[in-house]
Amino acid sequence: MIQAIGLTSTPRKELPPAVDNVSFEALSGCVTVLLGPAGAGKTTAVRLMLALQQGRGVAYFRGRPLHRIDHPSREVGVLLGDVPGHPARTVRGHLRMLCAAAGVPAQRADDVLDVVGLVSLRDERLGTLSRGMDRRLGLACALLADPHTLVLDDPAAGLSVRESRWLHGILRAHALQGGTVLFTTRDPKEAAQTADRVVTLEEGRLVADQEAADFARTRLRPRVVVRSPHAVRLGALLTKEARTTQRSVEVVREDGNRLSVYGSTCADIGETAFRHGILVHQLADEVGDMGPPRATDGAGAALTGDDGTTADDEHGETEPAHTTGPSEPDGLPELPPPVDVRPAPSPLRPLRYELRRATGVDTGFYTVAAVLITSAVISVILAGIGHAPQPRLLAAWPEELPLPPAALGAGFLGAIAFGDEFRHPALAADRGTVPRRLGLLAAKLLVAAVTALMLAFLTVGCDLEVLYLVYGPELADVPADWLPLGASWIGLVVGCSWAGVLAAGIFRSTTAGLAAVLAVPVLVVPLVRKVLEGMTVRAAAGFSARLHELPLMPWPFGGERYLTVAARMIAQPVGGALLLSLTALLGAYLLTTLRGRVR
C-alpha cells in the first residue's frame, strides 16, 4: 500500500504551493485514482511521492520511504510521461538494458513485450513509436521488475477507447493479484468507471477521498446524452421550453451531433423531439462528469462547447449507461509471470547494463569509424608534408591539434556514457536523476577504458597499414622505443575517455564532458609545463638505479623498467596535466555523490 502524508511542494516566489498538505492512502488490491483538472497538483503530488521534486511530507511504500528501499524498481513501477529512452534504441534492446539494471533475467523483456502486445514491434526504434505504442512500452517498463506498486501519471491520455480499456484491464488485473495501483486522470468518468477509490484534488488541496460509488453519487452529475442530426435545433427547443416552464436545465453542445442535457430526463427530451418531428439517434441516461465548464443561473443555458469531451466522443463510441464504480472487464489481460528468483546484488549488474547501453545504439560504431578514417587521412597528409616524427605519424597527431583524433574520439565516447543518461534518463524513473552509485561509475570507467584501448590499437594499426600502402615500408616501421611510446599513447587515450566520463557525470552533459577533455591540453598543460619546467629531466634521470638501491625492494622481470616508464609519463606535461585533471574530476564526483547521500 501507499501512505502519503503531508505532501507539500516548495512554493515559487509569492505563488502558493502547487500541492498543500495532501494526505491519502492507496490500498493493496485496489485501484486508486488521483482526480483533478489541469493544474490541480496531481503530477506534483506523484513527483513528491517519488522524491522527484523538493518539498515536505513523506510517502511510504509498504511501510518504507523510497530512499530506504534497496531496489526501488522492484517495489514501484513508474510511468511518467513518455518513455525516457534513446530514440535510436530498439524496443527490445531498451527493455533488455533495463533488465540488466534491475537484476532480472533478460528473458523478462520478451515476457512483458508479449503481455503489452509489442512482440511484432520489438525491433522498432523508440523514436518511431506512436502514442499508443509508447504507452504500451511505458507500461512494459513499469512491469519489468515485477513491482508490487504501479504509479502512473495520466496513462490513458491520448489513447483510443480500445487502448484505454486494455490499459485499465491491465491495471485491474494487477490489483486483483494483490498489487497497489495509483494513477492520475482529469476525466471524472474514467475515475468512476475504473477506480475503487477516488482522491479529488483542486488547486493543490485535497477536497474528497471517497469510494468510487460514493464519488459517483455525490460528485458526478447525471445527464442525458442525445445524438441527433438536428442537434442545434433540438438544443434550442429544450432551452426555450426550460425557460418557459421555469425549470433548471442546461444544454451543452459537444463535438459533432451530440448534446449533453443536465437537469432533464429521457422522457421529457423524447417527447420534445417527437412533437417537433426531430430524428434522434441516441437517447440515454449517463453519469458523465462534474458538470459543464461554466455554470448558468435560471432555467436553461445557451449551447456551448464542452471541454470534457472524452475519447469515446471523439471516436463515435458510447459507454454503457449508468456506469458507476469499477467493473471487472470480461477476460482481463494476462500479466507477465512473476519473477521467482530475486538475485542478490552483483558487481556485474552495472557492467551488464553499461555494455547493453553502449552497444544498443550505433553512436559508438560511427565514432570509431570516423576516428579511423580521420586518423588515416591525417597520417597520409603528415607523411606527405614531411618533417613529422614517426610517433606523430602513427598517432596522426600534428602539432597544430591539441589532441589526436583517437583521444578526442575516446573522450567523446566517455562523455556520452553519462551524457546519454541525462539526456534520455532510462534510470531516472525511480530516483529522479541518474543514480550516483560507485558501481555504475566503475562500470562506465571500465567499459570506457576497454573501448579506448581498442580504439588506440585500431588507430595505430590502421595508420600503419595506410602508410605502408601509400608510401611503402620505409614509413611503416615500429619505433625502437615502442614500450614507453605505447604506454604514453594508451595512457593518453584512456585518460581522455575517463576525463569525459567523470566530467559528464559531474556537469550532466556530453558537451561539458568533451569540453573537459579539450581543456586538458589547452588550459592545464601550459600551467603544468611552467611548474615542471626544468624538473622533468632531473626527476627522471637515474630513477631506475635509485629503485635498485632501495632495500628490501626486489624487482623481478624488470619491474623497475615499467615504473620508469610510468614516471616519465607523469613527468611529461601532458601526462601530468591529465593525471591532475583526472584526480580533480574524481574528487569532485565523489564529493557530489557524498553530498547527495547526506541529503
How do residues 116-154 score in pLDDT, each as one tens digit? 999 999 999 999 999 889 999 999 999 999 999 999 999
Name the least confident of 76-85, 301-310, 453-462. Answer: 301-310
Tell me the backbone φ, ψ of residue 595, rounded to 5 degrees: -65, -40
* Alpha-helix runs per DSSP H in 219-265: 231-244
DSSP structure string for 36-104: --TTSSHHHHHHHHTT-S-EEEEEEETTEEGGG-S-HHHHEEEEESS--S-TTSBHHHHHHHHHHHHT-
pLDDT digits (tens, 9 = 90+) for 347-404: 678 899 999 999 999 999 999 999 999 999 999 999 988 878 888 889 999 988 899 9
How many helices (H) and strands (E) would you count in the chain?
23, 14
3-class DSSP state for residue 285? Answer: strand
pLDDT of the residue at 434:
62
pLDDT value at residue 345 = 57
Output the pLDDT for position 564.
Answer: 56
pLDDT of residue 327: 46
Provide the CA 130 distance to its chain's centre, in angstroms. Answer: 17
- Distance, C-alpha 547 to centroid of its chain: 53
The number of CA neighbours under 13 Å toward the Cβ of 170 is: 24
Over residues 416-443, the mean pLDDT reads 75
Q: Is the pLDDT of residue 414 over 80?
A: yes
- Per-residue pLDDT band at 306 (split at 50, 70, 90): very low
What was the pLDDT predicted at 181? 97
Q: d(Cα 20, Cα 41) in Å, to the nearest integer?
A: 9
Q: Which of 101-115, 162-176, 561-575 has the lowest mean pLDDT?
A: 561-575
Q: Angle formed by the axes of helices 231-244 and 266-275, to 10°? A: 110
* Residues with Cβ within 8 Å of residue 19, at least 6 apart in sequence: 7, 8, 9, 41, 44, 45, 48, 55, 201, 204
Helical spans, DSSP H, in 265-307: 266-275
Whether the per-residue pLDDT at 437 is higher than 50: the answer is yes
- Cα distance between residue 252 and residue 254, in whole Å: 6
Specify the pLDDT at position 159. Answer: 87
Q: Which three cell numbers stand for residue 534?
A: 626544468
Q: Which residue has the higher pLDDT, 421 or 128?
A: 128
Residues 98 and 141: beta-carbon distance below 8 Å: yes
pLDDT of residue 150: 96
Q: What is the pLDDT of residue 451?
A: 96
pLDDT tier for residue 113 given thresholds of 50, 70 and 90: very high
Name the pLDDT band for 314 (thresholds 50, 70, 90).
very low
**What residue type is 444 in one-letter code?**
K
Indicate the pTM of the whole model. 0.76
Q: What is the mean pLDDT of residues 462-477?
A: 87
For position 14, what pLDDT does the model report? 78
**What is the residue-averaged pLDDT of the chain?**
82
> In this predicted structure, what is the pLDDT of residue 287?
66
Q: Is 322 exposed, middle or buried (0-12, 13-18, 19+ CB in 10 A)?
A: exposed
Encode pLDDT of 315-324 as tens digits.
Answer: 333 333 334 4
What is the model's pLDDT at position 234?
Answer: 93
Distance CA 113, CA 122 (A): 8
First to last CA, the chain: 26
Ramachandran class of 316: left when φ > 0, alpha when ψ lies in -120 to 50, beta otherwise: left
C-alpha cell at 221: 452529475
Enumerate domains of the chain plus CATH numbers. Answer: 2-218 (3.40.50.300), 221-314 (3.30.70), 348-598 (no CATH)
Residue 438 has what pLDDT? 84
Q: What pLDDT, on the 0 to 100 scale, is given for residue 53?
A: 86
**Distance (Å) of CA 323 to CA 90, 188, 193, 285:** 40, 12, 6, 10
Confidence tier at 245 by pLDDT (50, 70, 90) = confident
Reported as a pLDDT band with limits 50, 70 and 90, residue 296 is very low
Of 460, 495, 481, whose CA–CA distance to 575 is shortest?
495
Under the banding of pLDDT at 50, 70 and 90, the label for residue 69 is: confident
